[in-house]
Amino acid sequence: MKVQNLINNIKLQLGEERTDGICDSQDSQIEQLHSHHNLDIPTSIADAKKSIDWKQWEEAITRELDSFDQMNVWTPVEKKSNVKIIKNQFVFDIKHKNIPNSGI
């Protein structure tokens, strides 16, 4: 089996939750964004809020957080003064799929 064929047939599953539906849902949100060619990719949530595409970015953020919740990726806890919190941030990008001659 060729490597590309293998990659195309891999289905990610975390626990009992298949991610196919989640990915399809996220892809549909991405497709609603305005022109992919001239889109400025935000580097923070603050930048995303300033974007004309804020509504779509917000929906993508919500879907991502919902998928984390569905897959039990983390458990929210109250911050305690003696515990160091690991910083995190959203990384925004546009997922391109099946674009001819793009190498993607």
3-class DSSP state of 13: strand
Dmax (CA) of the chain:
53
Give this prediction's pTM: 0.53
Strand ranges inside the chain, DSSP E: 13-14, 17-18
Q: pLDDT digit string (tens) for 1-59?
A: 455 555 555 555 556 666 666 667 767 766 666 545 556 799 999 999 999 999 999 99
Q: Report d(CA 55, CA 62) in Å as an integer.
A: 11
DSSP string, 23-66: HHHHHHHHHTSS-SSSPPPPSSHHHHHHSTTHHHHHHHHHHHHH
